[in-house]
């Protein structure tokens, strides 16, 4: 029942061209040869692939199901061909970075911009995954650098941590709590809260903070990325606490950020292969990470230090009078 490569190519060509004559021309063969090969394929599989009406072929349901599988392998071969062509023209991605979505959406684009301003330029391939999946990705694929929130291998020689600042509070524009420069755990009581999912390490840290403060937050929903948390907040669905990198990348938008009274440092955990042959671009990228993280920290600090608007100042009384069941959104 096993098909050989030639038979798979014949089947794929007939499915794509919907004609044995056209498929034969594409493969540099003849119509009688392909007709005979197609019959051999059907005999080997044990079911019909096409309904024949004169010269017209209509794929059977089994043929459509089989072609879905075959198509995946051909897409993979096409990718290999494109990669080979890119290498031949020296346009291949030369630096591969694996990271969590929060980093891909915030600091990574700025780091690439900074590195691309230097010489020689580096082409990039960014692979974004949740941290739980990154551990597997790092063992099954080859990356030059991995960015996560926790060190995937604390004992690895090629690991480093960059502290980028503390977690901050995220609120929608016009929310009464924006009148405060610093929010305490008790300010979150009675407010709809947007949570990260259960697997997020900072979800656990925040849960511990509110548990210690004996504050129960109202659950409005949860999501997996910091960018989607901000989108939920901007839509007025609740308030949240997010990492400073995402906050810095969204300053000036529809979400307002305020300090949190409990210091929760947020870190970039870096890992790179010790025996990599690309130590020079790795060092350049890490240096750009440090510089960019400092710039973003300064931008966020400037946002947090801005004086409250007159409207927010007028709303402070409303913030003080929020009842336990109020949403606080205006």
Give the span between the Cα atoms of 200 and 229, in whole angstroms: 13
Give the span between the Cα atoms of 115 and 113, in whole angstroms: 6
Q: How many CB atoms lie within 10 A of CB 32?
A: 10
Question: What token pair was written down for 303?
Answer: 């946002």
The Cα angle at residue 319 between residues 318 and 324, in degrees rounded to 5: 105
Q: DSSP per residue over 265-302, as a string? A: EEEEEEE--TT-S-HHHHHHHHHHHHHHHHHHHHHHHH
Domains, the chain = 5-88 (1.10.10.10), 97-330 (3.40.190.290)
Question: Taking the model in full, what pTM does it have?
Answer: 0.66
Residues in the chain: 330
Helix, strand, or coil here: 303?
Answer: helix
Helix, strand, or coil here: 262?
Answer: coil
For the chain, the maximum distance between any two Cα atoms, rounded to a whole number of angstroms, is 87
What pLDDT shows up at residue 321? 40
What pLDDT shows up at residue 157? 58
Please provide residue 161's backbone torsions phi and psi, each rounded to the nearest 5 degrees.
-125, 135
Where b means 16+ CB within 10 Å and e means fewer, 137-151 reads ebeeeebbbbbbbeb
As to burial, measured by CB atoms within 10 angstroms (0-12 exposed, 13-18 middle, 19+ buried), residue 204 is exposed
What pLDDT shows up at residue 84? 64
Q: What is the pLDDT along the chain (330 residues), one digit of tens a residue?
A: 678 889 989 999 999 888 888 899 989 999 999 999 999 999 998 899 988 876 678 889 898 888 888 887 776 666 666 666 655 655 555 788 999 999 999 999 999 999 988 877 788 889 888 887 777 666 666 788 999 888 766 556 578 899 999 999 999 999 999 999 999 999 999 999 999 988 888 999 999 999 999 999 999 999 989 999 999 999 999 999 999 999 999 998 999 999 999 999 999 999 887 777 788 889 999 999 999 999 999 999 999 987 554 344 444 444 444 333 333 332
For 235, residues 6+ apart whose C-beta sits below 8 A from its C-beta are 172
Question: What token pair was written down for 321?
Answer: 């009078």
Chain Cα centroid distance, residue 310: 38
What pLDDT shows up at residue 315? 45
What pLDDT shows up at residue 150? 82
What pLDDT shows up at residue 69? 83
Give the span between the Cα atoms of 263 and 256, in whole angstroms: 19
C-alpha distances out from residue 217 to 14, 108, 260, 262, Å:
60, 32, 15, 16
Give the span between the Cα atoms of 9 and 11, in whole angstroms: 6
Residues forming a β-bridge with 58: 51
What pLDDT shows up at residue 326? 36
């Amino acid at each position: 029942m096993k098909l050989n490569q030639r038979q798979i190519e014949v089947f794929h060509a007939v499915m794509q061209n919907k004609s044995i004559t056209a498929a034969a021309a594409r493969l540099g063969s003849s119509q009688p040869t392909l007709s005979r090969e197609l019959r051999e394929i059907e005999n080997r599989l044990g079911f019909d692939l096409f309904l024949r009406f004169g010269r017209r072929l209509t794929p059977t349901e089994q043929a459509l199901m089989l072609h879905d599988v075959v198509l995946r392998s051909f897409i993979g071969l096409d990718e290999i061909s494109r990669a080979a062509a890119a290498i031949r023209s020296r346009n291949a991605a030369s630096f591969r970075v694996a990271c969590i979505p929060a980093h891909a959406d915030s600091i990574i684009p700025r780091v690439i911009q900074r590195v691309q301003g230097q010489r020689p330029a580096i082409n990039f391939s960014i692979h974004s995954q949740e941290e739980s999946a990154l551990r597997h990705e790092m063992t099954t694929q080859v990356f030059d650098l991995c960015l996560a929130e926790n060190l995937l291998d604390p004992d690895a020689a090629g690991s480093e941590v960059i502290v980028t600042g503390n977690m901050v509070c995220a609120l929608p524009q016009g929310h009464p709590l924006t009148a405060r420069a610093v929010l305490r755990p008790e300010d979150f009581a009675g407010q709809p809260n947007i949570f990260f999912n259960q697997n997020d390490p900072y979800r656990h840290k925040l849960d511990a903070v509110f548990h210690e403060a004996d504050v129960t937050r109202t659950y409005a929903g949860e999501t997996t990325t910091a960018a989607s948390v901000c989108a939920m907040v901007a839509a007025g669905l609740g308030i949240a606490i997010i990492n400073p990198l995402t906050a810095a990348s969204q300053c000036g938008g529809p979400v307002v950020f305020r300090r949190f009274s409990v210091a929760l440092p947020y870190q970039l955990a870096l890992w790179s292969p010790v025996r990599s042959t690309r130590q020079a671009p790795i060092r350049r990228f890490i240096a750009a990470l440090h510089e960019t993280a400092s710039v973003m920290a300064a931008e966020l600090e400037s946002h947090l230090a801005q004086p409250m608007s007159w409207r927010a100042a007028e709303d402070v009384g409303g913030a003080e009078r929020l009842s336990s069941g109020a949403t606080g959104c205006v």
